Amino acid sequence: MATSDLPSPPVAEVRPSSFTRHGITVQDPYAWLRDRKYPEVDDAGVLAYLNAENAYFEAAMAPHDALVETLFEELKGRVKKDDASVPQKDGDYEYWWAFQEGAQYRTWYRRPVGTEQSDVLLDEPALAAGKDYFRIGMFSVSPDGKLLAYASDDNGSERYTLHIKNLETGELLPDRIENVFNIVWAADSAGFIYTIADENWRSKVVLHHELGGGDPREIYRESDPEFSVGIGLSQSRSWAILSTGTNTTSEVRLLPAADFTAAPMLVSARDEGREYDLDERDGTLFIRVNDTHPNFRLVTAPAATPGEWSELIAGSDDHYLRSVTSFRDILVIEERIGGLSHIRLRDYDGGGETRVRFPEASYDASLGNNPEYAQTKLRIDYESMVTPDTVYDYDLASGALEVLKVQEIPSGYDADNYVTERLTATARDGTKVPLSIVYRKDFPKDGSRPVHLYAYGAYGYAVPPGFSSARLSLLDRGYGFAIAHVRGGDDLGYEWYLDGKLKKRTNTFNDFIDVARHLVKEGYTSEGRIAASGGSAGGELMGAVINQAPELFGAVAAHVPFVDVLNTMLDDTLPLTPGEWQEWGNPIEDAEAFKLLLSYSPYDQVSAQDYPPLLITAGLNDPRVTYWEPAKWAARLRATKTDDNILLLKTNMGAGHGGKSGRFDSLREKAEEQAFFLTQIKTGE
């Protein structure tokens, strides 16, 4: 992929532009790439530049079409063409989805319990026919089993349209609602509550809709620009849960599912920096809250007097409480200990606790689909870096784990050919940062092999040590694959998240670089032979680390990267910005936050130095990371960097934050990334 063999890359016009805030002037010569009519994008100059970059991407990849096709076929060969989920009982029916042979999208089914006669609930392939993009965002059957509410998006903008389908006749009801985020059915199936995206793609209001009725009735409206509203249902299905909050503060109201005309009941008023969520059983609330310990504690309260809290489980430095689900007969607590997932079961009568035991030392496990209140078995999802996705049923009476399904790799897979390790790197401030790595047994630790290093590192989202059949194509060609469990995620507890945000954000970048250097030091790879990737906030991470230590990386893929950090956080008209100030800081009002964001914003910190080969992706309809962020970054990099390494920008002109929607279309994009890595960093075999 030598640049000398390619046509000249696109050169974006430099249009002098700057702004001054807090006494600091910032140059922004590519600000024009933001179409002023956004979310409509029809500026001829903007489209011409994006199309020119796409044409350059195609030209650069054309000599490697055979490799991309080989990788694509390998990836497809590991996907079961007629894959299906394990049926799960919910009331009088069992529900599941399945892919027809070669289909890009799922078909959803159900059957009466005890029968084999199945009915199609929703035919996604038919709905997606003729569309470049299609995604189902919400799928909910009414309590009486007669109606299906589903929401779809056909351009990647994540503005979903709600439809109600009569499951007895197959017809759609006239009740069609635009811009829906989520719904909760009333207990009598006569209507539902829902949230919508406003013109700025923010969820601020909860509305009550009666089927066949008139205008919706407003139940709750949030006035704070930094707060958004979400809705859910308790496991008992007795209460609709109305949650409003930011990344650091939450407030919950309860609404009886049997009476959506009732006034919502406040559980506890918002308190800055306090987060809580809850479930309900038999008139008792089980509330997970971080008021006394960052790793949360568990308290109870009567539903009738929800402010009267009694501690059930104290906060702990070792046990990070991540969720609580109150089934009829057992309280299930999902937690993380030492960075690994655990599932704790607790009797309501105080008779004791137990933990689900899993077969490996390093793994990821979580509750799966458990829709009913009275579960005698718990559906659990399990995987590790060498064990494919596994679905278990855990028998509450016997404690036995029953394997229901193991992800099938049709082209073949032998776990004995691979080794996984949990390592620890020492960051520059002395913090011990864990990393998970997998490689073939014949992988030499002499520094000769490349390693693909991945991380996310934001919003308290941990990247678990899970399985991916796609990464086998790199492993089988001599690569290692590693996950850096950097600060900013909550891998080692909530404090781990807090230590990678706001004023401590640079810890995330430093951790990633120090993990990379640890891999070099220990002989897993060598400098310049690390392929790095990350998306969204992980794309910001990619931008920051190549500004700081470009020599470490032989190729970098930044997907829908959040790289124009300062400009985005200064623009409170953008959909997500006000709600993001709790994560990144508010540079509009806070001069120190402004200086900090400017100091690491990848777009603003591009400098005249050598950069590794870069693959950058974007989505024209992306509402989360707007297309102009990666476009501006690519333009500035091209004009500033001092090397001749390849730089590719690919914009999906009909997709959003997640890239292409079809299961095989998305695999082709993965094949392109792997081909990019393989052509830039050869294995040396």
Catalytic residues: 536, 622, 657
Q: Which long-range contacts (CB under 8 A, 24 or more apart) does 281-288 make?
A: 281/235, 281/236, 281/326, 281/327, 281/328, 281/331, 281/348, 282/236, 282/328, 284/326, 286/312, 286/324, 286/326, 286/331, 288/321, 288/323, 288/324
Helices (H), 362-505: 472-475, 494-498
**Contacts (Cβ under 8 Å, ≥6 apart) of 163:** 149, 150, 151, 152, 172, 173, 176
Specify burial of residue 283 (Cβ count, 10 A radius: 0-12, 13-18, 19+).
exposed
595-634 in b/e burial notation, b at 16+ Cβ within 10 A?
A: ebbbebbbbbbbeeeebbbbbbbbbbbbbbbbbbbbbbbb
Alpha-carbon distance of 182 to 162, in angstroms, equals 9
Q: 173: part of which helix (H) or strand (E)?
A: none
Alpha-carbon distance of 670 to 408, in angstroms, equals 19
Half-sphere exposure (Cβ direction) of 300: Cα atoms closer than 13 Å? 12
Nearest to 578 by CA among 227, 309, 240: 227
Name the DSSP class of 32: G
Collapse the DSSP code of 156 into the 3-class scheme (helix H, G, I; strand E, B; otherwise coil) and give the result. Answer: coil
DSSP 38-82: TTS---HHHHHHHHHHHHHHHHHHGGGHHHHHHHHHHHHHTS-TT
Alpha-carbon distance of 511 to 455, in angstroms, equals 10
Sole residue written with tokens 């090397």: 643
CB neighbours (10 Å) of residue 130? Answer: 7
Alpha-carbon distance of 345 to 378, in angstroms, equals 11
Give CA 626 to chain center in angstroms: 17
Alpha-carbon distance of 28 to 502, in angstroms, equals 23
Name the DSSP class of 437: E
User: Phi, psi at residue 350, to the nearest 5°?
Assistant: 75, 15
- 3-state DSSP of 106-141: CEEEEEECCCCCCEEEEEHHHHHCCCCCCEEEEEEE
Alpha-carbon distance of 558 to 616, in angstroms, equals 5
Residue type at 399? Answer: G
Measured at the CA of 624, the angle between CA 435 and CA 205, to 5 degrees, comes to 115
Sole residue written with tokens 């249009």: 15
- 3-state DSSP of 263-305: CCEEEECCCCCCCEEEEEECCEEEEEECCCCCCCEEEEEECCC
**Contacts (Cβ under 8 Å, ≥6 apart) of 239:** 233, 254, 255, 256, 257, 280, 303
Nearest to 150 by CA among 124, 118, 187, 117: 124
Beta strands in 142-237 (DSSP E): 147-153, 161-166, 180-185, 191-197, 203-210, 217-221, 228-233
Helices (H), 395-553: 472-475, 494-498, 506-521, 537-548
Contact (Cβ atoms closer than 8 angstroms) between residue 75 and residue 68: no
Contact (Cβ atoms closer than 8 angstroms) between residue 618 and residue 651: yes
Collapse the DSSP code of 440 into the 3-class scheme (helix H, G, I; strand E, B; otherwise coil) and give the result. Answer: strand
